Amino acid sequence: MKRIVVIGAGRSSSSLLRYLLNESEAEGWEVLVADRDEALARSKINGHQRGDATGFDAGNSEKRRELIAGADLVISMLPASMHIDVAGDAIHFGVPLITPSYISKEMRSLDEAAKAKGVLLLNEMGVDPGIDHMSAMKIIHDIQKKGGELIRFESFTGGLIAPESDNNPWHYKFTWNPRNVIMAGMGGTAQYIQQNRLKYIPIHKIFERYKDIDVEGYGTFEGYANRDSLSYRKTYGLENVPTIYRGTLRGKGFCEAWNVFVQLGITTEDFEVDCRKMSWRDFINAFLMYDPELPVEEKLQNFLNLSEEVMEMLRWTGIFENTPVGLEHATPAKVLQHLLEDKWKLEPDDKDMIVMWHRFDYLKDGQEHEVHSSMVAIGETQTYTAMSETVGLPVGIAAKMILNGQLSLSGVHLPILPEIYHPILEELESYSIRFTETTIR
Amino acid sequence: MKRIVVIGAGRSSSSLLRYLLNESEAEGWEVLVADRDEALARSKINGHQRGDATGFDAGNSEKRRELIAGADLVISMLPASMHIDVAGDAIHFGVPLITPSYISKEMRSLDEAAKAKGVLLLNEMGVDPGIDHMSAMKIIHDIQKKGGELIRFESFTGGLIAPESDNNPWHYKFTWNPRNVIMAGMGGTAQYIQQNRLKYIPIHKIFERYKDIDVEGYGTFEGYANRDSLSYRKTYGLENVPTIYRGTLRGKGFCEAWNVFVQLGITTEDFEVDCRKMSWRDFINAFLMYDPELPVEEKLQNFLNLSEEVMEMLRWTGIFENTPVGLEHATPAKVLQHLLEDKWKLEPDDKDMIVMWHRFDYLKDGQEHEVHSSMVAIGETQTYTAMSETVGLPVGIAAKMILNGQLSLSGVHLPILPEIYHPILEELESYSIRFTETTIR
């Protein structure tokens, strides 16, 4: 019997645990789930005879060592910054580790030690990062294998609301961490390369410079630039590809309306507003010029030259209402989050949707070719969401491959190698996570 | 004989040292100047028999204690973050201290200890902060004394180029720390209050929301909002004044043109540009959309809807030239500074100018009154600049008052008390630093 230890039983672990328990009999596994909240961990096991739960505080290094020493494989579903201690123990006890998170500097620095011990630390195994790498690298390698020269790579992913649950003018609800949505684009200047020219978009222009993306069968989305597209040149081995652009997808109309919040200055965390006596209307007015003659709506519309459509989206959020903000001192971003958490709340039957879209242009035999590849996943329930499925399944499949001895790698890795991505993409198809390729020319 | 120790002999110390040495015979002082660069310190003494110089590294706590123990008064002209060690020793040895810098949290926390030892730590004694406090408080106290109720206070200061040296379309040259000019407004959302409504201007709108300020005899300037006007409500005891706005002055046309740099995103420090192969033209182009059909000038003009006047100011800086940037990897702000340090360089005969302007509206006997007060100081030379004079003279005069026993205060102070500002403003007039009051209504 092989023991898999899963650390962290939060909502992104649901589909992973379902997969591991479903496979456990056939594969001869037992699955131990460790979480600060033992009852939560136990509820995710749901009485399965191959599963067990234990309480575990991530700061308890003795318990952590005990858990890892007794494991054949460890999966860390903790917040990204907390993987590093797990990775250190995994190397020490010679136990392979999987995480769904970006490789941090600290994680990368463990590469040599992991190789010396013959231990695999497999990261970026979720959806973004994860399935994005796998699905893109598969096509890039195919193009290279048949002698094509990649000249353009674009890649967009969005965590959205499913069409059947889409009943607001923003075509958006919080299906994931609201704070990340509010702070989107605020991390710094976006960097990409177009026709060999480095291109930079400052924070306050990111939502103005979005582009339309057509996804077959799902209509048009808007893609805004992620902070760093340039680092993918090295990760994917595309140093000489003249155009590389990565971004995030939103529904049609979202970017122009969200840009209003950015332009107003209410997506920042750089100071606190005293909103004890403020209505929503006062809050918005505080970011507009003083002019007692003009109503707030008119000031805002003039300030940013807004269409009636955008005004309608803004009105829908309630920012022009005379109701109290209901917070005391908070950063503008927290005030905005407070407003939208109410408006963009999921209803009990709502389903989420993950949309991923890639574009590859390449030269072959003097001809220019263009291929699009897209994947849309829709959640089953609010436990087995599209996010949980697309994060958890690749992690689970990778676990199976490692325990079956299918991956003879050591050191720090991410899924850009054919031996990793081929079997995973194949098995994902049986869970309806599949890419559709369209040849444009 | 009383000993004054001046720590720091940089360019802001020139006028201070001239003042102290000039007064030294009559007052019975000796002046010891300590600087990392002993030769620089000695050059500022210029052979005066009451002056002496010594080498001193601010990190050398033994030497610092020795210097302060032997002093009757210490003046710290070090960078603001370095005052705190000096202040600690000043309290220990019971020696009064003057600095021209804003009171930091650390400085404020020494208030009790200083009071217990009966030591005065007098801060914000330069021009801004310094003369701005003194000149504003004098009028505010006058209004209050005659029974007026202040309803609006605005205050603007600018370090500019004198009209006789103003020969470029920006009406600007670097007369002070270039980095502070490049990073102006980037520190965070500007906060003020207008008619009892809190008002916030995000970083990317600060140079769009400037206002015109007429200074009698010197024409129209532009004032943009400083980061924090709200803290002055407490400092000046103006908690119930409905309008308080503080800002920085620039020449006419400056704000609209500078806003182009802000909108482009080249006043940021959040990433580094690889400019090894870039011309100035390429650098600007990197912040604009890809469009090989349009020349950079046209793209920029369309992007921000710029007037021909602003385009002329931009052309003058050289940002459209094909010459190499001449840096390797640098933040956009550093690249811009590199460009402007060349263009906004002072010529040997150039003179600087400090402009300060206040507006006070008040109610008295049911009538609304409005008073403006302004001061313009023009530098003598590039050593005795207007900046050096307006920073050094109030510090020097305060030193005289303390050594003459004219100030019986202890603890951490700034010059908002009549007993401090009256004598200083009076003596400043004999150095042609004087305010002109204009009654508007």
On the question of pLDDT at A209 being above 90, the answer is: yes
Q: Give the distance, in angstroms, between the CA of residue A377 and the centroid of all CA atoms in the same chain.
A: 13
Find the CB nearest B274 among A198, A264, A287: A198
pLDDT value of position A12: 87
Task: Read off the pLDDT of each residue in A346-353 and give the average, rounded to a whole number.
Answer: 95
Res A402: pLDDT = 98
Q: Which of B188, B271, B285 shows the shortest C-beta gap to A270?
A: B188
* Contact between chains at A265 and B203 (C-beta distance less than 8 A): yes
pLDDT of res. A375: 98
Closest chain A residue to the Cα of B290, Cα to Cα: A194
Query: Chain B contacts of A198, Cβ < 8 Å?
Result: 273-274, 286
- Percent share of chain A, pLDDT over 70: 100
- With an 8 Å Cβ cutoff, is A265 touching chain B? yes
The overall average pLDDT reported for chain B is: 96
The CATH number given to whatever domain includes residue A67 is 3.40.50.720
Look at chain B and report how many structural domains it folds into: 1
pLDDT at B37 over 90: yes
Task: Tell me if B201 and A264 make a contact (CB, 8 A cut-off).
Answer: no
At A19 the pLDDT is 98
The chain-wide mean pLDDT, for chain A, equals 96
B230: closest CA of chain A, how far (Å): 12
Query: Please, are residues B29 and B403 in contact by the beta-carbon 8 Å criterion?
Result: yes
User: Does residue A119 lie in a domain region?
Assistant: yes
Containing structural domain, residue B43: 2-125+387-432
Instruction: Identify whether B28 is part of a domain.
Output: yes
Contact B271 A205 (CB under 8 A): no
| Chain A partners within 8 Å of B292 (Cβ) | 195
Residues B261-278, mean pLDDT to the nearest whole number: 96
* Rounded distance between C-alpha atoms, residue B101 and residue B133, angstroms: 12
State the angle between helix axes of B296-304 and B254-264 in degrees (0 to 180), rounded to the nearest 10: 110
Residue B153, pLDDT > 90, answer yes
Asked if residue A276 is part of any domain, the answer here is: no
Q: Once rounded to an integer, what is the mean pLDDT over residues B285-292?
A: 95
Condensed to tens digits (0 to 9), the pLDDT of residues B96-122 reads 999 999 999 999 999 999 999 999 999
Distance from CA of A265 to the nearest CA of B (A): 5
Q: Are A362 and A369 in contact (CB under 8 A)?
A: yes
Mean pLDDT of B416-433: 97
- Report percent pLDDT > 90 for chain B: 97
Q: What is the pTM of this model?
A: 0.92
pLDDT of residue A58: 83
- Summarize pLDDT for B366-392 with one digit per residue, the tens: 999 999 999 999 999 999 999 999 999
> What is the average pLDDT across B68-93?
96
Confidence of residue A66 (pLDDT cuts 50, 70, 90): very high
Q: Is B239 on the interface with A (CB under 8 A)?
A: no
What's the mean pLDDT in B224-253? 96
**pLDDT value of residue B231:** 92
The answer on pLDDT for A31 being more than 90 is yes
Section B28-44 average pLDDT: 96
Model confidence at A85, pLDDT cuts 50, 70, 90, reads very high
Is residue B12 scored above 90 in pLDDT? no
Cα(A328)–Cα(A435) distance, rounded to whole angstroms?
47
Whether residue A286 and residue B332 make contact (CB cut-off 8 A), yes or no, is no
Residue A203 has pLDDT above 90, yes or no: yes
Looking at residue B359, what is its pLDDT?
98
Mean pLDDT across A366-379: 97
Question: Domain for residue B307, yes or no?
Answer: no
Q: What is the pLDDT of residue B58?
A: 83
Chain segment A158-191, per-residue pLDDT in tens: 999 999 999 999 999 999 889 999 999 898 999 9
A286 lies within 8 A of chain B by CB: yes
Confidence bin at B301 (pLDDT 50/70/90): very high
Residue A259 lies in a domain: no
Q: Is A279 near chain B, with CB under 8 Å? A: no
Confidence of residue B59 (pLDDT cuts 50, 70, 90): confident
Model ipTM value: 0.90
Q: Does the pLDDT of residue A49 top 90, yes or no? A: yes
CB-CB contact of B182 with B340 (8 Å): yes
Model pLDDT for residues B194-225, shown as the tens digit of each residue: 999 999 999 999 999 999 999 989 999 999 99
Q: Are B34 and B68 in contact (CB under 8 A)?
A: no
- The answer to whether A200 contacts chain B (CB < 8 Å) is yes
Instruction: Supply the pLDDT for residue B11.
Output: 86
Cβ-based contacts of B205 with chain A (< 8 Å): 263, 265
